[in-house]
Structure 1
Amino acid sequence: MRFINNRLSLFVIFAFLGMFAASAQEIIKETQKDTVKPSVPQGRIKVDGVIAVVGDFVVLESDIDLMYREMQAQGMPVKDIPRGELLGKLMEDKLYAHHAIQDSIIVTDADVNETMNRQIDYFVEQIGSEDKMVKYFKKKNIETFRAELFEMIKNQKLTEQMQKKIMEGVEITPEEVRQYFAQFKKEDLPEFGAEMEVGQIVIKPEVTQAEKQIVIDRLRQIKKEVMDGSSFYSKAVLYSEDPGSRSSGGFIKMNRKSPLVKEFKDAAFSTDEGQISEPFETEYGYHIIYVEKIRGQDLDVRHILISPKVTPEAIQKAKEKIEKIRQRIVSGEISFADAARSESEDKETRNSGGLLMNPRTLETRFELTKLPPEIYSDVNDLKDGEVSRPILSESQRGEKTYKLYTVANRYDQHIADYAKDYTKIKDLALKEKQKKAIGKWSDEKIKSTYIKISPEYQNFPFVNHWVKK
């Protein structure tokens, strides 16, 4: 959802490949301890063999073929990658997903749909059209493709949640950080890339009351049409501007702890089951909510989001305002940081003097290669302390803002220094400890989980001990 406070990160390439290569998987029941022969569902022809079973999941020979094809499509060299290595990766994913289900980890349909829609948009962009996409992945039609992709993404998210659960209890002490750093010889110390701190000032065009009223009236009309018999689901698909829930008819499962803005939760919990709220405003626009089901403190709701549009006159006024702010900074009347605190309309960066926060490290430093591309192109040529010209920016939701950027500080590429880079070293040490925790968990679960591997793969030198002696 666009109005959830934090956004999801992108899939890393191997996680994505593992997800998509699972297209032929079936959940099976073990009927005989000496065989790997799941029953074939009615109406489906078995076209290739089962090469591994992990808990309730199987891996097919064709899964590895698909993985190779996806790697080639991404331009990755596959000549020297043995099939057993890819099988090991697929089996790891199945192990996590199996135990996530056993541990009652929940992945919501809305969350899966949001990721699926982004993935389909990416495929269409890369391949050219939905028809070409379906043909490329050798599916019968778009409905079959979406159904299979839904299950793949759901299993991948189960894997991610299981890994997160394993790692969330792992903590590290300052002494462990010191010991981790002390193990490196001088010539083997980590090297950190060049970094910079970027400041921004954001001015948003003012939305007129007339534009707000247009949206309120439109939502009230939609509400009336639904009460007269129209489908809320269809209205959400047609008119909602929330890309995260639009394709699922605006559907959201929520409770008091859900990471939604306060106004949305207040409206949802003050609306009776089967009723539709009046239009209400959040920072993302105006909404109406239909409360579909109440189960104690858990709600099933659908919503429609529409944002008021800004006029050309409002955009021009915002530009004039930010140009005056820039003139004051350049003339020395006010510092960039003070101008951000007093004038910027971005609440997430205003209190820090405009400094952007790196969502990966929760620090203000960004490695140059990991700056968002749209920001990197705007700040790359700026000198220290220089202020950019006003830049008109448009979000994925269509919200237009004017921005000023400055490079507050630059940090050259350098060998790790314990005092100066403690936070980064701590992060590396924690990741190492988390990796060991996952390895220990895997070893224990492999011993207690039903696993069967086809004979032709049993002598492969897997990283994990899949073959039980």
Structure 2
Amino acid sequence: MRKFGIIFLSCLLTFTLAYAQRSTLDKVAGVVGGSIILKSDIELQYAQYLANGGQPNESIKCLALSRLLTQKLLAQQAVIDSVTVTDDDVDGSIDRRMRGMMQRAGGQERLEQFLGRSVIQYKDEIRADVREGLVAERMQGKITEKVSVTPQEVKRFFDAIPKDSLPSYNKEVEVGEIVFQPKLNKEEKQFYKDKAEGLRTRVKNGEDFGTIARLYSQDPGSAPDGGDLGFFDRTGMVKEFSATAFKLKAGEISPVFESEFGFHFLQVIERRGEQVHARHILVTPVITPGSLERARAKADSIYTLIKTNKQVDFSTAASVYSDDKETKYNGGMLLNAENVQSRSTLIPTDKLDPQVALIVDTMKVGSISKPQLFTNPQDQKSTYKILLLRSVTDAHKANLAQDLPKIKENAQADKFNRTVSEWFEKKRKNTFVRIDPEFQSCKELKDWVSTPQTAQVKP
């Protein structure tokens, strides 16, 4: 941990120096349309790369200039096409970035020491850059929003792949689950609610909220920062939390309330439009032997119901009885975590939870397991699950019959990339572009350097 802190401090000192140099470094590294990119902009991005744990590598500066040129060109087109982002979008992006930096630095106070400025001041300084980046991202989405592939295009894409270059796919399975989480009864919960009430009383009596949060809050993400959650909108937290936060005025402390994470109370620090800056203290209940036994008994009864009542299949039971919100509305089927957007239920066996993989390996296709106890390795929480093995696909070379969804996704990605590349090629030919000689040898910039209107910038 000490070594990590030294590295982070070194990176952030570089980052701070680079930011301070913005006012004195005026060498133009590139021009695209009516926008200029200073060398200090590139140094700042390189310092951010180092601060995020990257290894020293000068070619990253070439990539940074390429990204900035791309961002400027997209942002200029966004003005023409009236593509915008809201203040809430910008606030949310900045807050996510700052939470990551604070976590790596070891809290807000240490980050501010490293930066030599307050977090609020730093947020204001990067706001314009963040907004432009979001606008550029949205503009690129507009360029590809109508791109789709036909079955004929998918086949042409597949047929164009050399036979000796076809990808191989590992063994894949489709697995469903019905999850039974142990739940405390009213009497068992009261102990933890009373504990949260006691902490709230201490804060109301004058003890420092941040100190109490650091000592007693059981939210690992915010406790080191004194419970600080940054800004969030109404969709950024669970409903009980948002409903409470948006009722309060700045400085007010909420009553104790319950969410799926436990018992909280919070304090609103600042309101800004449809965003709230708040901090909280969380008390997480501990599962009791009694609650675990109740979960096992319920799992056994649902397993018996599925096996004996032909009108209740696995999918129906999952939607009614499962406690897992991510799978219950999908018939209990697990999604491939590496390909969530496609909502694929095909999961390579080496990507399954090892506990699930061990049980599935002994099952036949179409069979349902008896309730089994599972323990989450991250938080050590226990649940009972009933598993369904819906299908098994053995390892094989890619083919259209078995792998159409994957091939279609790859064909669409290829068409997306070609559409964006063609757009940039056309825009570059009709946009004034100049690259400083220092960067013209960068292979990452060859498309920009070869633009017909490119001219050297005088040092």
User: Could you say which TM-score interval applies, normalised by the shorter chain?
Assistant: 0.5 to 0.7
Distance in 1 separating the partners of 2:404 and 2:250 = 52
Match of 1:291 among 264, 268, 271: 268
Distance in 2 (CA, whole Å) between partners of 1:460 and 1:409 is: 49
**Equivalent residues, number:** 399
CA distance in 2, matches of 1:449, 1:222: 61
Question: Equivalent residue for 1:57?
Answer: 41
User: 1:29: which partner in 2?
Assistant: 22
What whole-Å deviation, never above 9, does each CA across 1:383-420 have from its counterpart, x for those lacking one?
Answer: 32252650222374554322232321123435342x76
Report the TM-score when normalising by structure 1.
0.66
Structure with bigger helix share is 2
The one-letter code of the counterpart of 1:309 is V
Distance in 1 between the 2:300 and 2:290 partners? 15
Residue 96 of structure 1 deviates from its aligned partner by 6.8
State the match for 2:212 in structure 1: 235
RMSD of aligned alpha carbons: 4.8
Distance 1:222 1:424 in 2: 52
> Could you tell me whether the CA contact under 8 Å between 2:181 and 2:382 is conserved in 1?
yes
* Cα distance in 1, alignment partners of residues 349 and 137 from structure 2: 28
CA deviation profile, 1:7-63 (whole Å, cap 9, x unmatched): xxxxxxxxxxxxx98983423437676677xxxxxxxxxxxxxxxx75652349x97
Which of the numbers 168, 173, 176 marks the counterpart of 2:141? 168
**Residues 226 and 63 of structure 1, relative CA distance in 2, 3 Å threshold:** closer
Please report how far the alpha carbon of residue 267 of structure 1 lies from its aligned counterpart in structure 2 after TM superposition.
1.2
Amino acid at match of 1:89: L
Secondary structure of the residue aligned to 1:286 is strand
Cα distance between partner residues in 1 of 2:167 and 2:186: 54
Q: Residues of 1 paired with 2:428 and 2:214: CA distance?
A: 43
Instruction: In structure 1, give the amino acid aligned to 2:347.
Output: F
Q: Is the 8 A contact 1:100 1:161 kept in 2?
A: no
| Structure 1 residue corresponding to 2:332, chosen from 354, 357, 367 | 354
Code of the residue aligned with 2:209 in structure 1: it is: F
Q: 2:191 aligns with which of 214, 217, 221?
A: 214
Quick check: 2:373–2:385 contact (8 Å CA) kept in 1? yes
Separation in 1 of the partners of 2:70 and 2:370?
Answer: 47
Structure 2 Cα separation of the partners of residues 160 and 375 of structure 1? 41
Structure 1 counterpart of 2:159? 185
Within 5 A, what are the aligned runs for 1:241-320? 241-248=218-225, 249-256=227-234, 258-320=235-297
Residue 429, structure 1, aligned to residue 411, structure 2:
yes
Q: Give 5+ residue unaligned stretches, structure 2.
A: 1-9, 30-36, 77-83
1:415 and 2:392 aligned: no
Aligned CA distance change for structure 1 residues 453 and 240 (closer, same or farther; 3 Å) = farther
**Counterpart residue identity of residue 459, structure 1:** S
**More displaced 10-residue stretch of structure 1: 429-438 or 96-105:** 96-105
The one-letter code of the counterpart of 2:406 is K
How far is the alpha carbon of 1:71 from its aligned partner? 6.8
Alpha-carbon separation, structure 2, partners of 1:437 and 1:173: 8
Whether the 8 Å CA contact 1:382–1:407 is kept in 2: the answer is: yes
Match of 1:88 among 58, 62, 68: 62
CA gap 1:462/1:296 in 2 versus in 1, 3 angstroms? closer
| Fraction of identical pairs, as percent | 24
Q: Is 1:205 aligned to residue 182 of structure 2? A: yes
Distance in 2 between residues matched to 1:32 and 1:226, nearest whole Å: 48
